[in-house]
Amino acid sequence: MIPAKFKKVSLLTVAAALLAGVAVSAAAPRAQLLPVPKVVAPAITGDTIRDVTKELSSDAYEGRGPASRAEDLTITYIIKRFKAAGLRPGNKGSWLQDVPTVDITAKNADGMTVNAGGQTLRYKFGSDIVAGSYRVTPQTRIKDAPLVFVGYGITAPELGWNDYAGVDMKGKIAVILVNDPDYETADESGLFKGRRMTYYGRWTYKFEEAARQGAAGALIVHDTFPAAYGWQVVNSSWTGTQHYIASANNAMDQTQANGWIQKPVAEEVLKASGQDLTALTAAAKQQGFKAVPLGSSASLSFDNEVKRATSHNVIGILPGKKRPREYVLYTAHWDHLGRCTPDKTGDDICNGAIDNATGVGALVSLAEANVKVGAADRSQVFMSVTLEESGLLGSRYYAEHPVYPLARTVGGVNMDGVGPGSPSKDVSVTGGDKSDLTRYLQAAMKAMGLYLTPEDHPERGGYYRSDHFSFAKLGVPMFSVGRGSDWTQGGKAAGQAASEDYVLHRYHQPSDQYDPAWDWSGAVQEISLFYRLGRSLAMTTDWPNWHKTDEFRRIRDKSRAGVK
């Protein structure tokens, strides 16, 4: 999951209007907006989330590493709880969906050689460049591939932006700037939402787009400020084993190599090619920017050690009464880091109590609450996904191989970290006001007497870093919300102290452990909020969409166009 401090976020653009009690939506005004159905949450106690969290974070589960003995224990327990709650198996009679994975480890990497302006420049793996292959292939060999500077490497038709216009990338390597063109803006105005990160600013997008353009390779120019982390982070996360979903074509539609280069490397290569990185960066921020072939070429090669495994998503369903072929999702990842670096006491089990045994506990609690009230009009799908910690792979696999068509999946709520502590007076939203789901959140907040707190770090792109994103990316509108830190017991000081303690002392460490002294009243409030959000989506005939200029709107429109 994303650390709690990244979740102190909000719908900035509507906050003021909300406070004034005005119903707003940044969406294009429709002739008639369907009212948000009124739903009343049944009595929810903290017993279920407490019991599930205690069980799944006990040492017996060894930190819930995927494709291990711990996975068998974990999915068996979740199925038991789903069954007891009264759900039905969610995958054609089965509780499980297989998630085939590939682990690739680069070996024998001998760096990158660039030929530019009659010079031969050599760069070392690790200190100058990191690279890997998405393709499942024993060897990666790129020889004298022409380099093309493609600015931010963005194709966004809804914004009239195309960094690849007029260039043929076949057999070439794209040199790409990190983030998006207006990341230095102080507020969230601008084509790419100013300082708020959009998906176009994420490194994952840049590699995907380069592949769509047919490039042989893609190299992102690292720069600490827009990347928001130093080279050390890039280096450590790109060396060692990388995890991917297995695909029928062995990912041959991807580039041969994706990687990062240090900024001084890019400066040197561009200079030797008769260009200037600063000048080209300035040009790349302007609409109408044209990609620049550098007249230089690069070679790189390494071997790939490949290992395959299978993990599982657990899926249950409460079929709808009136429109069973329309679906609303609740998701929470079950996996965590498994055995990890030992702490001072020698404890090497990353138990993942908050991250994300609590989310699974909330999921079971929501199944129980919905069954108790009775089936909704639409079907409700409860899914505990795997491999979130390895790059959202379980949710991505489901989204790419959905049991229920995404075009008929209305939207949903993802839960990643439903922490203990006091109830709150506020709600935090990751990602800002992106879709018509805002109206559903407003209705729930109003009913519960909650207010919205502005997002602390919209530039960090928290929305793109947990499982809801896997669905959003393929068009399904998803909530990423949680309770804020203005606690009813102890106010902001208490809420912020708890969140700081978690980020500094527990997040992704063996100390993310169950504590019998935990107060679950805040978690109960959060589950009630999730109940309202999911249930109101399951009781309407509405199809909330992304706002007009949102990066996922065009994908959703295309997907929904196929529905009769």
Tell me which residues touch Zn ion (CB under 5 A).
Answer: 1, 355-356, 416
CB-wise, 317 or 392, nearer to Zn ion?
A: 392
Q: Which is nearer to Zn ion, 7 or 195 (CB)?
A: 7
DSSP string, 277-345: HHHHHHHHTSTT---EEEEEEEEEEEEEEEEEEEEEEEEEEE--SSEEEEEEEEEEE----EE----TT
**Residue 356 or residue 442: which is nearer to Zn ion going by CB?**
356
CA dist 489 to 24, 314, 549, Å? 31, 36, 40
CB of residue 351 vs Zn ion: minimum separation in angstroms?
Answer: 13
Which one, of 91, 12, 1, lies nearest residue 456 by Cα? 12
Closest CA to 38 of 516, 403, 532, 474: 532
C-beta of 2: minimal distance to Zn ion in Å?
7
Q: Toward Zn ion, which CB reaches closer, 179 or 358? A: 358
- 3-state class (DSSP) for residue 479: strand
CA 502 to chain centre: 20
Which amino acid, residue 388? E
CB of 365 or CB of 379, closer to Zn ion: 365
CB of residue 6 vs Zn ion: minimum separation in angstroms?
11
Single-letter code of the amino acid located at 255: T
| Beta carbon of residue 62, minimum distance to Zn ion (angstroms, whole number) | 17
User: 3-state class of 497 per DSSP?
Assistant: helix
DSSP, collapsed to helix, strand or coil, labels residue 271 as: helix
* Nearer of residues 460 and 556 to Zn ion, judged by Cβ: 460
315 versus 418: smaller Cβ distance to Zn ion = 418
| Mode of pairing for the β-strands spanning 173-177 and 217-221 | parallel
CA 91, 93, 97 angle in degrees (round to 5)?
30
Nearer to Zn ion, 152 or 514 (CB): 514
CB of 467 to Zn ion, least distance (A): 8
Interatomic CA distance for residues 410 and 477, integer angstroms: 7
Tell which residue, 146, 148, 135, 126, has the closest CA to residue 104. 135
Rounded least distance, CB 315 to Zn ion, Å = 19
CB of 148 or CB of 329, closer to Zn ion? 329
* Assigned token pair, 502: 């978690």
Extract the tokens encoding 261.
């280069």
For the bound state, the minimum distance from the C-beta of residue 159 to Zn ion, rounded and expressed in Å, comes to 31
Residue nearest to Zn ion (CB): 1
Q: Specify the residue, 388 or 433, whose C-beta has the smaller distance to Zn ion.
A: 388
Residue 3 CB, shortest distance to Zn ion, in Å, is 10
Least distance to Zn ion from the beta carbon of 104, Å? 23
How far apart CA 90 and CA 531 sit, in angstroms, is 19
Which single residue is written with the structure tokens 């190299």? 219
Q: Which tokens in the block code for residue 333? A: 């990842």
Q: Which residue in 257, 248, 113, 111 sits closest to 171, CA to CA?
A: 257
Q: State in angstroms the smallest separation of the CB of 180 from Zn ion.
A: 25
Whether the CB-CB separation of 427 and 450 falls below 8 Å is answered with yes
Q: Which is nearer to Zn ion, 183 or 502 (CB)?
A: 502
CB of 237 to Zn ion, least distance (A): 16
What tokens appear for 354 in the block? 């908050």
Q: Shortest distance, CB of residue 466 to Zn ion, whole angstroms?
A: 6
- Per DSSP bridges, beta strands 451-452 and 378-385 are unpaired
Nearest-angstrom CA–CA distance, 3 and 544: 28
Distance CA 173, CA 391 (A): 24
Residues 379 and 317 sit within 8 Å (Cβ to Cβ): yes
Distance between CA atoms of residues 349 and 344, nearest Å: 12
SS3 category, 98:
strand
Task: Considering the complex, state which of residue 217 and residue 394 has its C-beta at the smaller distance from Zn ion.
Answer: 394
